[in-house]
Structure 1
Amino acid sequence: MTYYSDDNCVYCHGCGARYDIFDLYAIQQQKITPNSDNHVSYQFKEIYNEVAEYMHADVNQFKIKPEDALHNKINEYNRRLIEKAAKTLDKTDYLQKRGISQELGKQFHIGFIENWINPTIEYKADKGTHQKPTPRLIIPTGVSSYLARDTRDNIPDAEKRYIKLKQGSLNLFNAKALQDDSKPLFVTEGELDALSILEVSKEANALALGSTSNIDLFLDTIRNIKRQAIQKHEAYYPTILIATDNDSAGQLAARKLSQGLNSSYIDNYIVDIARNCKDPNEALTTDRNKFADTVASTIKDPDNYLVGLLKRISQHKEKPQFIPTGFSNLDQVLDGGLYPQLYVIGAISSLGKTTLAMQIADRIAARQHKHVFIFNLETSKDELTEKNLSRLTFELADDKSGNPQTARSINNGSWLDYPKESKLVMRAVEAYSKYYTYLHIDDGTESRPSAKDIYSRLNIYCSKHPDNKPVVIVDYLQILRAIDDRDTDKEKVTKSIAEFKRIATTFEVPVIVISSFNRSSYDNPAAMESFKESGEIEYYADTLIGLQYRGIDSEDSNLDNLKKQDPRNIEAKILKNRNGRSGVSVNFAYYPKYNDFIAEDD
């Protein structure tokens, strides 16, 4: 063995074992035998205290609490259960039904328990609590952790949520495969999916996350291995083939994995080995030879770009990507509406950029019943709602109704004294009540979020609702809280706009970011350089839209006179459109009193 002072561990070049001082104490003094993966299982707090006493070290020791003792008891039970189950794998044919050989199962110490009960419930429950034993396949993910999978053919509906139960700490299945970078490594969601790949190929390794919630655990593990290799001046260049399930949650997990690996400069590919099946195991049991050929061809050509491209195009045809804004003239120049990309809308102060964005949000929610997340940092939720109601009274008003109401008049309740106006406002409230639950207005006036905070919020929602992709609106860029408090204004904008690009890409959602203009641009036509920190905004944005008063580009224009128009004539200039037409404009009549934009067809 060789001792490495940089991580205070010894390393065996023969078997690959790596031990620190606590591992060695457990082996030598407690006579604990490492398992087949060279892992040593023990209760760390107890060993730490013993090592401290053995070395007469003047350090604080752990207090062993009753819950620690219970935790240790459950872990010891799980360890013995894994050993017992491995001896009785031949009592079930569940693996064969899933296309996996007993021999492969035994390589991974998979076992079977005919009458399994949940030890966590058993040890923590009051006396008299009764569990119904069930037959379970035991798939170890660690010395005292495993997946217990129900093997019954007919499982009652009430028990289907318990088909797969985890025991012990969160671990990856076959995590040791990460140490071997000589073969490509498939990363799957389920343990049976990883085994399916190993069943048909010896040219690759396979690892299972166990759950998409273990993405961070996987990324942390591979980053630590890479870091240790660098410290030891050893090469570590793994190729990761991401083969998550063929559903929305799996596709989202694949994008998160790929982005995390890219940030660590680790070679990776998102691959489709399940093809028309839900996951690799279903593909194996559907057509074993076809699955084996697909895995082999993927190993040889993991990019398989053209096949992936054609699949994505087919998906786009079946389910169009764009979401109409509700303004026909704007949708026409945007090729149908908003796509999963980053849009930046800029204008001078008080021109109506927030109002336009909110009107787009309203129309998407009202007409398409799609969720819209609105992060507004300068206007409260009540104010935005009152503006929406004001616009609705303007749109609903006719000769027989009362007068439309401004946001201020709605707020102060003056309309309550007039029957016609009251009836009009209540009609607006009724119309708004039919869709306002699709509008998730995050009031950032009291606690400003950062772009990272917004990513976290979207991550939670999209993970829970992968099939209901929302639209995201941020108002506005320059007053977001900095990701790092030490950042300059330029660095804040750069990091924030990059994070919004990541949101659009990761979650495949349209993101609209509102931006202010430079003061020097107030009397000039909208242009790319009008945006504050325009270089970074221009670089990351897929589409740049500048709002301006129509006629501002004429020589005799006067900004004050243009502001006095009623309605105001507003022009939206498409300054940049990475995937469509740019250099074109669309026109609106803007009624600021009632917060309403009306499209003008040229």
Structure 2
Amino acid sequence: MLNDPSLIVNAMSILKTREAFFSAAHQYISGALFEMAKNEEAVDVLTLANALKKSSELVQAGGEVYLLELMNSVPSTANFDKYLDIVQDASVLRRLIRRSSETLELCLQDDASAGAVLDQLHKEVIDISDNLFKEESVALKDELDAAMGTIFRLAEGDKGEKGFSTGYRDLDDKIGGLKRSEMIVLAARPSIGKTTLAMNIAANVALANTRGQSDKNIAVGVFSLEMNTQSLVLRMVASEAEISLKDIGNMNVTTNDFANIQKAANILADTEIHIDDSAQLDVMELRAKSRRMKEKFDVDLIVIDYLQLLRGRGLNRNASREQEVAQISGAIKGIAKELNIPVIILAQMNRQAEQGGGSKEAARPKLSQLRESGSIEQDADIVMILHRDRGQQIEEDQAKIEAEGIMTELIVAKNRNGETGIVELNFMPQYTKFIDNDPVASFGGDYNNDQF
């Protein structure tokens, strides 16, 4: 908990009290940590030592030296859940020993009644088991009322029950929007436009309120392991202003272009998009940062660019890359479920995705070509694969491309709760922007969320 204070809340929910620890020193330390977490105080060795000193418990806790030793005694927090299980199991066993001793004393009393002793023992065991085992199952009949309520609210057009619109009408029709607790994989080979599409969707979600498509501002968190924040922001401004990124870089812009750029910047300034461009994140750091984003900014969507740049933690040094990616994929699904928000994770396809050859159908990439792990497709609720002829952008007339865009297929290869199929989008490379194949359907037009 000292190495990763974001895990204190998890420990509190499982262990309940400091008495779960056997050592008196650990009881004092955990008690102080729990109290600091409740008060939302910053936690590190110095602040913990100060809190223990204020309560006159620092000496009983082992002093500052022992706190430092504790921090260095755990090599990784990757197995934190397992450590919690060990502490909880030991705590339950100690309680059972105490209750067994008390039961033995009751049995040896002259006026002992077998019925009374059994009744008392039964209550104690139930109390202990309630603390050990979480309520994991629910009766179907108890959930039917809630399910029917959801259906009625959807029929009445309650926007809160729908997934967040991606800003692309055909895509929304296909997947039903970005739903809470879902892990959505957006995959492609390099330079096809997965980062562009992901940031377009992020901007569309964050701008929904500005465009009259949502009743409130929707906060979006972005983890960019590949591009820095400045590069992403420039792309978003160029996309919103529909000014060539190349022209902006070369300062080949007119007065009218400057006005559009300023207008786009003002629009984006009103959004709640929070970007973290930390490189070399591991799964535990990602999870902790995601929790903090949720707590601090109440983000309702997280975008991660991209999966293969993340690192696992706590694995055996002989573990394969496939095992590491499986751990990462499972952790991302866990983030979506824990925070109850959709998470879009970008991923690369392997080289086979470009070696289909033959017919148009044969050339399309397949779900099995996700790079490095089959676990990604197993964990994901939705897998979308961006596909187009890479040579088209080079070979075709550039003036035609700038006027009409490049037709790109977004293949919905997996949809756990809906249909699969192909959505056609137009890629406008000069603006780093995707639009609906039917321009009238794009978010910037007359599209209304009530239609979705």
Q: What TM-score do the two structures reach when normalised by structure 1? A: 0.48
Superposition map of 1:500-515 within 5 A: 500-515=332-347
Contact persistence 2:178–2:342 (CA under 8 A): no
User: Which residue does the alignment assign to 1:441?
Assistant: 275
Are 1:389 and 2:389 an aligned pair? Answer: no
Q: CA deviation at 1:365?
A: 0.4
- For residues 578-597 of structure 1, the aligned pairs below 5 Å read 578-582=416-420, 584-597=421-434
Q: Is the 8 A contact 2:229 2:275 kept in 1?
A: yes
Higher helix share: 2
Task: Give the aligned partner of residue 168 of structure 2.
Answer: 327
Which of residues 431, 435, 441 is equivalent to 2:267? 431
Q: 1:545 is matched with which residue?
A: 384
Instruction: Flag the structure with larger Rg.
Output: 1
CA distance in 1, matches of 2:223, 2:53: 47
Task: Return the alpha-carbon distance in structure 2 between the equivalents of residues 431 and 593 of structure 1.
Answer: 20
Q: Secondary structure of the equivalent of 1:303?
A: coil
Q: Deviations over 1:193-229 (max 9, x none)?
A: xxxxxxxxxxxxxxxxxxxxxx999977524325769
The answer on whether the counterparts of 2:162 and 2:177 sit within 8 Å (CA) in structure 1 is no
Alignment of 1:454 with 2:286, yes or no, is yes
What's the secondary structure of 2:203's corresponding residue?
helix
Deviations 1:256-291 (A, max 9, x none): xxxxxxxxxx63216xxxxxxxxxxxxxxxxxxxxx
Does residue 529 (structure 1) correspond to residue 365 (structure 2)? The answer is no
Q: Is the 8 A contact 2:196 2:432 kept in 1?
A: yes
Following superposition of structure 1 onto structure 2, how do residues 269-308 of structure 1 map, counting pairs within 5 Å?
Answer: 269=135, 303-308=138-143
Match of 1:225 among 91, 94, 105: 91
Report the residue type matching 1:439 in the other structure.
I
Q: Quick one: distance in 2 between partners of 1:474 and 1:345?
A: 10
Unaligned 5+ runs, structure 1:
1-16, 24-39, 42-64, 77-214, 242-265, 271-301, 395-403, 553-558
Question: Once the two structures are superposed, what CA deviation does each residue of 1:445-466 show, in whole Å capped at 9, x if it has no partner?
Answer: xx3212221211222343456x
C-alpha separation between the residues in 1 aligned to 2:437 and 2:95? 63
Aligned to 1:348: 189
- The one of 255, 260, 265 equivalent to 1:419 is 255
Structure 2 partner of 1:570:
408
Change (3 A) 1:67 1:589: closer
Q: 1:522 to 1:422 in 2, by over 3 A?
A: same
Question: In 2, are the aligned partners of 1:544 and 1:576 still within 8 Å (CA)?
Answer: yes
CA distance in 2, matches of 1:588, 1:440: 26
In 2, Cα distance between the equivalents of 1:22 and 1:342? 42
Say which of 329, 350, 358 aligns to 1:497: 329
| TM-score normalised per structure 2 | 0.62
Q: Distance in 2 between matches of 1:21 and 1:390?
A: 59
| 8 Å Cα contact 2:407-2:437 kept in structure 1 | no
Q: 1:426 to 1:535 in 2, by over 3 A?
A: same
Alpha-carbon deviation of 1:575? 0.6
Cα deviation for residue 419 of structure 1 reads 2.4
- Going by fraction, where is strand more abundant, 1 or 2? 1
Q: Is the 8 A contact 1:321 1:339 kept in 2?
A: no
Post-superposition offset of 1:563 = 5.2
Matches within 5 A, 1:49-448: 71-72=55-56, 222-226=88-92, 239-240=129-130, 267-269=133-135, 303-311=138-146, 313-314=148-149, 317=153, 319-368=160-209, 369-394=217-242, 404-406=243-245, 408-411=246-249, 413-415=251-253, 418-435=254-271, 438-444=272-278, 447-448=279-280
> Over residues 507-553 of structure 1, what are the superposed CA-to-partner deviations in whole Å (9 max), with x where a residue is unaligned?
1110111000101222331111110134111110111111111xx6x
C-alpha distance in structure 2 between counterparts of 1:533 and 1:547, whole Å: 18
Give me the whole-angstrom Cα distance separating, in 1, the residues matched to 2:368 and 2:138.
Answer: 38
Q: What is the match of residue 478 of structure 1?
A: 308
Secondary structure of 2:355's partner? coil
**Counterpart of 1:599?**
436
How many residues are matched? 325
Give a deviation string over 1:541-592, Cα, whole Å, max 9, x none: 111111111xx6xxxxxx524654422210011111111002x111011011
Percent identity reads 21
| Structure 2 portions without partners, runs of 5+ | 1-18, 29-48, 61-80, 101-124, 210-216, 357-363, 442-452
In 2, the alpha carbon distance for the partners of 1:599 and 1:73 equals: 64
Distance in 1 of aligned mates of 2:305 and 2:50 = 51
Q: Which amino acid aligns with 1:523?
A: Q
Question: Post-superposition shift, 1:388?
Answer: 0.8
Does the C-alpha gap of structure 1 residues 223 and 469 become closer, same or farther in structure 2, counting only changes over 3 Å? Answer: farther
1:367 Cα offset (Å): 1.1
